[in-house]
Each structure stands twice: as C-alpha cells, then as structure tokens.
Structure 1
Amino acid sequence: MIMEETGKIFKKEKEMKKGIAFPTSISVNNCVCHFSPLKSDQDYILKDGDLVKIDLGVHVDGFIANVAHSFVIDASKENPVSGRKADVIKAAHLCAEAALRLVKPGNQNTQVTDAWNKIAHSFHCTPIEGMLSHQLKQHVIDGEKTIIQNPTDQQKKDHEKAEFEVHEVYAVDVLVSSGEGKAKDAGQRTTIYKRDPSKQYGLKMKTSRAFFSEVERRFDTMPFTLRAFEDEKKARMGVVECAKHELLQPFNGAVTTCTPPHPASAFLSAGEFVAQFKFTVLLMPNGPMRITSGPFEPELYKSEFEVQDGELKALLQSSASRKTQKKKKKKASKNAENATTGETAEENEAGD
C-alpha cells in the first residue's frame, strides 16, 4: 500500500526514490516494538482486548515521516477499556502530547525526558528504559540529536544534551510500560535491518553479495524487513554475513519484551502492557508542526489516575496549535481537567 500510494506522486521525477522508510511493525500487548514476522512464520490471530501498536515510516526523496499508534481491539464508548491497559495508553498518549509542546526551538531534550518520567509515573507506569527519539534528516532516520526516555545512571552520563533549533525535524517516539519498563531479549529472529553507509567489506558469499546489492538498490539507507524479499530463504542466508561484518544494523529483540505469540496464554502471562505513540514534527519559526499522527479517542480509555504535576497540567491544557492559540486561551479552565486525565486541548475543542 505504501509503495502504491507514494508511486502516485512526483511521477515526472523518474530518478526520485520514494516508499518505505520503516517497515510496518505490529506489536501486541507486552511486545515493545519491531515485531515484523516473515511470511513463513506462524500467524498470530488478533483478538478482542489485545493492545496493538502499529509502527511505520514513509519517505519521498529521502525526506522521512514516521508514525506509530496504539489501540485496544473492540474498545468503544459502550465498552471502554479500564485497568492497566487504559493506564498505559493514557500515559503514553499524554507523554506524546507533552512532547509536542516541549520539542520547540530553545528547549532542551532533557526537558522532554523529565516530563515523560513524571507523566508516566502519575499513571503508575514507566517509560521503556533507554529508548531514543531521533532527529530526522534527508536519507537519515537516526540523526545525531536524540531524546532519551527513562535513562539509567550511565545513560544519563553518556547521553548528549541538545537544544532544539528552528527547521529541525524529529520523530518523537514514546513507549510506556505498565511494569518496570525494562526491555528483555525474547530470542526471536531479527527481521528488520538498516544499511550502515560508513561500513565497507568485501562479501565472500555470492548469496550475500546478491542480497546486499538488492538492499542498496531498493532501500538505500532506509530500514527494511526480510519479508520484502521474494526469496525469503536466500534473504535469510545473505543477511548473516552482512550483519556479521556490520554492513547492516539490526533492529532486534534487545528492545522487546515480547514472547512467542503461541500459545496465547504464554504470550499474555507476563501481565504487562506497552503502549506506543510516535509522530513526526517540524520545528517551524511560528511553532512545532506535527505532520503525522493516529486517531485517538480518549473517552475509550478510563483510568483512575491523572497527571499530578501542576506545571505539566498547565502544559497539557495549553494549545499546541500555531494559529489559534489566542482564541483557545479562554477555554483553558474547561481544558484543565480533561488534559490531566487523557484529553488535550485540541481533542476537547474537536468535541465541542
């Protein structure tokens, strides 16, 4: 679908590359991210009550737009979600909304990290330890400037502080757990990789050379999934030598707590849930401009918790709109309660 839709634009630019910037991943319940199974893998049938995260990216001429969204299957106004699923989804959603208001020229990346921790803890949840949001540049999905969430003491020392600047672009990626927030390696096969243009090596195997040549031709520096190759067996063989010599970087199980989905009882036995919201934001001179997002209906998720911090309450009740901010100031008192319990100023306005 992504290739079909991007193929409809800039048709006269024959040399312009466009298409997938990050392969579609569907991660369920306590699986954090990057779950992109092969065609030969056993199917997992989604069911009512599953907390589903969909993550993908698109690019045109190397300019990237990423998005991820979380929802619970069969949630409705008549059948709202409660308990830990509701807590973690509302926490992650409000973390994303806070970031939209904080990722702006002149602010520091540490301000976002601190806000995420406070919001998540208000819902008795925890951001996934050490996960990064990256600056985006043309052909670069993992730029130098980053925002770290829930860093360890060592990560706090190592992570570079940075100031946001006008005309920068960021993929803000929020991942929150209902548990301790510590990702575990589930031992599953890595299926998503990205070429590292700084690495060079003369591949020995013919299968590896053919595979790597196709990677360069089709994906350049964008992440891809082995599922995208017609001959899965050859792709699985070719990727081994490429990854061993660091021509390809893996997006692997080190960032997931997911367990194999069969049997279903084993998949759900951990009792933890992870919610993800990701959006792409352009830092314009007149304010942040979010260009990707998924539909969120706060009334479908009923949590007994709310944001406690006064400054964060004020932040969340403020408008993120660049054009109508003055108009919405008079609605601040009405928005205050909604903002701290999962409904932002823009969502409340839409419902009026």
Structure 2
Amino acid sequence: MAEEAQIDYSLNNPDTLTKYKSAAQISQKVLEAVSGWCIEGAKIVDLCERGDRLLEEEIAKVYKGKKIAKGISHPTTVSPDSYITPYTPLISDPEEAETKLKAGEFIKVQLGAQIDGFGTIVCDTLVIPSKQNDGNQIPSRQADLLLATHWANELLLRTMLPQGLLASGTEEEKKKAATSKKQYTQAKINSLLEKVAKSYDCNIVESTTCWLFERNEIEGKKKIILSPGEGVKGEGLPEVGDVWGVEIGVSLGTGKVKTLSNRPTLHRRTTTTYGLKRPSSRATLSEIVKKFGQFPFSLRQLDDERAAKVGVVECVRGNVLRQYEVIGDKDNDPVARLFTTVAITKNGLTRLSAPPEPDLSKYKTDKKITDEEVLEILEQPLSKNTGSKSKNKKKKKRPAKKADDDDEDDDDSDEE
C-alpha cells in the first residue's frame, strides 16, 4: 500500500501563502471595523463580542464547501491606556463588563483569523478622540509615544531581514553581500530599538516577544525578546521561509511591567497531556479543542461562560491550558503596541497583516531621531522592487534631522 503523500505546508507551497493572505485580509478588514467602533463611552466587552462576530462572518465567506479548518486565531481584544497584554473582559464579571473607553486614552485593538491552521494576528494603537486632539492634531506626548512605536516597529522589521537578501547583481555578488555583514543579533536589535525609543523620551516594554509562526502554532521554536528581563533571552533568528508574529510595545514610562488584579480570561491549549479528574474540566477542554485547537481564545467564546470559568481551573493547574495574565505598565503610564504578521521570502519581507500606515502629519512634537545608524536602516527597503505596483508607491515622512525630508516606502508593492 502506497504511503500517503506528505503535504508541504512551508512557504514553498503557493497554497500556504494564499491561505495566509486570505486570513490576513480578514484580519485587516475586521481591525478597521473594530477601530471605527472605538469611541468614548463604548463598552470594551461589547466591542470584543462584535469583533468576534464579524470575524466569524468573514471567515465563513472563504473556502466554502472545502474540508479546511478555519476560525479565529486570536479573539478580539481591546486594551486600555496602561494595559499591555490583550484584554477581553467577561459579561459574567459585572464590574469589568462595565469598563468603557475614555477620551484621550491609548487603545490597543488586537485580533486575528486562521485558514487551515495558518494564522495571522494584527494589532493597532489608536487614541480615543478628545478635546485635546480635536482638529486631527495629536498632543506632543501622545505624538511622542505613537511616533516612537511606529519607527521602532519599522526598524524592527528591517533588522529581521537576513543580511544580503535584497542584494542585486550576479549570484557571486549576492553571496558576497550576504557574507560581508552578519545578521543583526538580538542584542544589537535591542540596542537599536532603545535608541529609537529614547529619541522620543520613551522606553520599550519589558520582555515584549516576537514569535515564529507555524501551522496551528503561534509560539514556535524561535523567538525574539525585546528589552529582556534578567535571565531571559531569545532563541534563533529569522530565515527565508519563516512567518513571524512581530510585536513592539512602547511606554511613556520606564517600560517595566506588573501583573494586574483582573481575571485572566485569555487562554491557549498546550501540548501537555494530563488526566483531568472533574467532568466539568473535561467538558470544557473538549469544547476548546473542537473550537480553537491551539489558538488563543477568550472564556466568553465558550458556550457557557460561567461553567468555563470553573472548567479551566483544573486545566490551567495541570498545564493543559496556558493562562495569559493581565499585564500592565508598572507605573500606570500609557502604552502603545503594534503587531504585524510577516512572511520572509527570497524577495524580502512581506507584511501579511499589519496596522494601517499612520498619518504622520498629525503628530506634532519637537523630538526626532538623529542617530545616523538608525536613520540608515530606516531608509532600507523591506523587499525587492518587482515593478508590479510601482505606480502605487506612497511617500512617508522620514524621521530625520530635516523634518521635511521624504523617502519612498519601498515595501508597499509587496504588502497586500
């Protein structure tokens, strides 16, 4: 009997990238919708539920009639001002269910979709409109935080590229370019990011982690840890063929973190097996496996929210589920976060799902990046210009010494 053909789930298989892109388009569409719903007085729990319903509706529209698993790769979460981790309260916790958005605070919206186990996650930070930023102007310290986060993200993406990948010329010249300069180490990446944050009098959030994405897995074997705590270090560096979840967090304060008293409502199944004793625990785990696989989920997504709160206790204790604690800024200072899902191919880095490009003209501040090494990296493209969409190139303001300097966004052509 012939062995069943092994399916190639790597980026070498065009279907893999197609599925990633399909999931990414859904993530982008829902992110835009949820962001539009974020106004003063809106209840966070309502936003999360509406976001998940829209995710499910959009996911149902693709790959109809095909035996392909698909679903939410990350539930809709809305994290207020000083909250760092994704936040999604429960209706059955009355006090938290009443949490509303406040004018002038920073809001982090995060969500994602997956097709056939190929998940994309995206997060954007926005400021809830207030009298201070009427007229589309962002006050200086708010502008500092948003600019620091934007440029730190742009720098991080560029330092993840394998060296020499975008070199042109003969094969020999490309090979020489690849070996002439070593890939950025995690220590060097952190050093460069710190320069960006300090330019705006901000700090990188402690132990922010970027992960290698794999099929049915958003925390792969490789990880990059930004501003690592004592005794903490990352593993591995990005390579061609990788898909990564790239996260950047920046604080107006020290960047140090603390665990908040809020109930942890976000969980994810691990690969650990454990003999659960309680029927309620087994029933909860069975529902989780069926609905979410190993992707993150909120307790509010389960059929009976109250029963779920009881059922997960033994699952967490037995390490069958990972519980995501609610983490905030140690000094309650505002925090901004961005999350981008990227693919690294022979043509460079492609943003699969990414926060929208900000309108930098709204950000008024007297601070700017002056470090020449950082500015040089920021001018580098993320991908080769294939010429397919050269007419659609946009210009974006350069964070240089001259405020009116512009440079072309070389990576737009590959990022849809």
Into which bin does the TM-score normalised by the smaller protein fall?
A: 0.7 to 0.9
Report deviation, 1:40. 2.4
Report if aligned partners of 2:264, 2:325 keep a CA contact under 8 Å in 1.
Answer: yes
Partner in structure 2 of residue 256 of structure 1 = 328
Matches within 5 A, 1:260-339: 272-295=333-356, 296-323=358-385, 335=398, 337=400
- Within the candidate set 19, 34, 51, 2:86 is matched to 34
Secondary structure, aligned partner of 1:256 = strand
CA RMSD of aligned residues (A): 2.9
Secondary structure, aligned partner of 1:148 = strand
Matched, 1:72 2:127: yes
Matches within 5 A, 1:1-352: 1-14=54-67, 16-41=68-93, 42-74=97-129, 78-106=135-163, 107-110=183-186, 111-155=188-232, 158-160=233-235, 162-197=236-271, 199-253=272-326, 255-257=327-329, 272-295=333-356, 296-323=358-385, 335=398, 337=400, 345-346=408-409
Secondary structure, aligned partner of 2:277 = coil
Aligned-partner Cα distance in 1 for 2:107–2:90: 18
Percent identity over the alignment is: 31
Relative to structure 1, is the Cα distance of residues 234 and 334 closer, same or farther in structure 2, using a 3 angstrom cutoff? closer
Report the AA paired with residue 44 of structure 1: T
Report deviation, 1:340. 7.9
Secondary structure, aligned partner of 1:288 = strand
Report if aligned partners of 1:298, 1:342 keep a CA contact under 8 Å in 2.
Answer: no
Aligned-partner Cα distance in 1 for 2:150–2:405: 7
Report deviation, 1:89. 1.3
Report if aligned partners of 2:342, 2:353 keep a CA contact under 8 Å in 1.
Answer: yes
Secondary structure, aligned partner of 1:173 = strand
Report deviation, 1:300. 2.2
Secondary structure, aligned partner of 1:337 = coil
Report deviation, 1:194. 0.5
Secondary structure, aligned partner of 1:276 = strand
Unaligned runs of 5+ in 2: 1-53, 164-182
Aligned-partner Cα distance in 1 for 2:206–2:402: 25
Relative to structure 1, is the Cα distance of residues 108 and 138 closer, same or farther in structure 2, using a 3 angstrom cutoff? farther
Moved more, 2-11 or 170-179: 2-11
Report if aligned partners of 2:145, 2:202 keep a CA contact under 8 Å in 1.
Answer: yes
Relative to structure 1, is the Cα distance of residues 175 and 308 closer, same or farther in structure 2, using a 3 angstrom cutoff? same
Relative to structure 1, is the Cα distance of residues 45 and 13 closer, same or farther in structure 2, using a 3 angstrom cutoff? same
Secondary structure, aligned partner of 2:286 = helix
Relative to structure 1, is the Cα distance of residues 28 and 339 closer, same or farther in structure 2, using a 3 angstrom cutoff? farther
Report the AA paired with residue 73 of structure 1: I
Aligned-partner Cα distance in 2 for 1:80–1:342: 20
Aligned-partner Cα distance in 2 for 1:145–1:278: 17
Report the AA paired with residue 101 of structure 1: R
Report deviation, 1:304. 2.2
Unaligned runs of 5+ in 1: 259-269
Partner in structure 2 of residue 261 of structure 1 = none
Aligned-partner Cα distance in 1 for 2:303–2:215: 28
Aligned-partner Cα distance in 1 for 2:297–2:303: 13
Instruction: Kindly provide the CA deviation profile for residues 189-218 of structure 1, in whole angstroms up to 9, marking residues without a partner as x.
Output: 100011011x11111111111100001111
Instruction: Kindly provide the CA deviation profile for residues 226-284 of structure 1, in whole angstroms up to 9, marking residues without a partner as x.
Output: 0101211100000001001110001112x3238xxxxxxxxxxx561100011011001
Report if aligned partners of 1:126, 1:181 keep a CA contact under 8 Å in 2.
Answer: yes
Report if aligned partners of 1:90, 1:303 keep a CA contact under 8 Å in 2.
Answer: no
Report the AA paired with residue 222 of structure 2: K
Report the AA paired with residue 167 of structure 1: G
For normalisation by structure 2, the TM-score amounts to 0.73
For normalisation by structure 1, the TM-score amounts to 0.86
Moved more, 331-340 or 57-66: 331-340
Aligned-partner Cα distance in 2 for 1:297–1:334: 9
Report deviation, 1:294. 2.1
Instruction: Kindly provide the CA deviation profile for residues 119-147 of structure 1, in whole angstroms up to 9, marking residues without a partner as x.
Output: 11111111111121101000110011111
Instruction: Kindly provide the CA deviation profile for residues 121-176 of structure 1, in whole angstroms up to 9, marking residues without a partner as x.
Output: 11111111112110100011001111111123422xx433x232111011100011
Aligned-partner Cα distance in 1 for 2:257–2:224: 18
Report deviation, 1:344. 6.8
Secondary structure, aligned partner of 1:154 = coil
Moved more, 39-48 or 230-239: 39-48
Aligned-partner Cα distance in 1 for 2:402–2:240: 27
Report if aligned partners of 2:69, 2:117 keep a CA contact under 8 Å in 1.
Answer: yes
Relative to structure 1, is the Cα distance of residues 241 and 128 closer, same or farther in structure 2, using a 3 angstrom cutoff? same
Aligned-partner Cα distance in 1 for 2:207–2:349: 25
Secondary structure, aligned partner of 1:184 = strand
Relative to structure 1, is the Cα distance of residues 212 and 116 closer, same or farther in structure 2, using a 3 angstrom cutoff? same
Q: Relative contact order (C-alpha < 8 Å, sep 6+): which is higher?
A: 1
